[in-house]
Amino acid sequence: MDWDVIISYLPLYKRAMILTLKIGWMGILFSVLIGFLCAVIRHYRVPVLRGLAGFYIELFRNTPLLVQLFFLYFALPRVGIPMDAEVCGVLGLSLLGGAYMAEAFRSGIEAVDSVQMESALSLGMTRWQAVIHVILPQAISISVPAFVANIIFLLKETSVFSAISLMDLMFTAKDLIGLYYRTVECLSLLVAFYLIILLPVSVIGSLVERRMRYAGFGD
């Protein structure tokens, strides 16, 4: 292990980490929005849209992200839809994540007892007021463990972005190994930087989950 080599590579890995975080968190943000919308559509059986949401979820949950990225980056330009690599990364992660987030949110909504809706309606709320102010807060609380697990999963999935020539952490490690054959140093830095990204998410997620669980017990 050559520490001088590791120190000299740090700026490259830092730039790659910034790009990985940028694309990763943008993809996660959009995946939450997509997943939330699909969960509401499927649970409340919105005509036509329910079937489309179900098809989308099954399609993206049952195909690898790498295949989806290849389709977006290499196939779409063939039909006149060119796409930048970063846009492709964000879109691919958003669509994959949206499918997983939808199921996490839907399971949370279905876990809320139906008596909650009945109670809200009996107090004079409209159905949508009850959904927004009573059902969804409880559903989101229940979904926190799956939500955090999906965030970690999506951040790890950014490792396939190197396949579409994005200078992320995996691309940087592979490039340096190919150029200088410093396999141990490069892979050690790769592991260290992924830990820097993922460990805080795991710890914060556990704290949020514990706090929400205690708050639920307090009610």
Tens digits of per-residue pLDDT, 163-185? 888 888 899 999 998 888 888 99
What pLDDT is stored for residue 214 in this prediction?
66
Written as one string, the DSSP assignment of 77-112 is: GGGT----HHHHHHHHHHHHHHHHHHHHHHHHHHHS
Number of domains in the chain: 1
Cβ contacts of 165 within 8 Å, gap of 6 or more: 85, 171
Section 76-101 average pLDDT: 91
For residue 135, which of 100, 98, 97, 106 has the smallest C-alpha distance?
A: 106
Rounded to two decimals, the pTM is 0.85
**CATH code at position 187:** 1.10.3720.10
What pLDDT is stored for residue 190 in this prediction?
93
Domain, as residue range, for 50: 3-218
DSSP designation for 63: S
Q: Can you give the length of the chain in residues?
A: 219
pLDDT exceeds 90 at position 101: yes
pLDDT exceeds 60 at position 49: yes
What pLDDT is stored for residue 218 in this prediction?
38
What pLDDT is stored for residue 213 in this prediction?
67
Please tell me the distance from the alpha carbon of residue 24 to that of residue 22, in angstroms, as a whole number: 6
Helix (H, G, I), strand (E, B) or coil at 124: coil
Section 147-159 average pLDDT: 91
| More confidently predicted of 138 and 215 | 138
* Stretch among 88-92, 168-172, 208-212 having the lowest mean pLDDT: 208-212
| More confidently predicted of 8 and 216 | 8
**Average pLDDT in the chain:** 87
Confidence band, pLDDT 50/70/90 cuts, at residue 115:
confident
Section 12-35 average pLDDT: 93
In order of 59, 73, 88, 136, 148, the CA distances from 40 in angstroms are 18, 30, 26, 9, 19
Please tell me the distance from the alpha carbon of residue 87 to that of residue 75, in angstroms, as a whole number: 15
Confidence band, pLDDT 50/70/90 cuts, at residue 216:
low
pLDDT exceeds 50 at position 26: yes
Please tell me the distance from the alpha carbon of residue 219 to that of residue 213, in angstroms, as a whole number: 10
Helix (H, G, I), strand (E, B) or coil at 62: coil
Other Cβ atoms closer than 10 A to 37: 17
Under a CB-based contact definition with an 8 Å cutoff, are residues 154 and 24 in contact?
yes
| More confidently predicted of 15 and 142 | 15
The torsion angle over the Cα atoms of residues 19, 25, 27 and 28, rounded to 10 degrees, is: 160
Confidence band, pLDDT 50/70/90 cuts, at residue 42:
confident
What pLDDT is stored for residue 135 in this prediction?
82
Phi/psi-derived region of residue 165, left when phi > 0, alpha when psi is between -120 and 50, beta in every other case: left
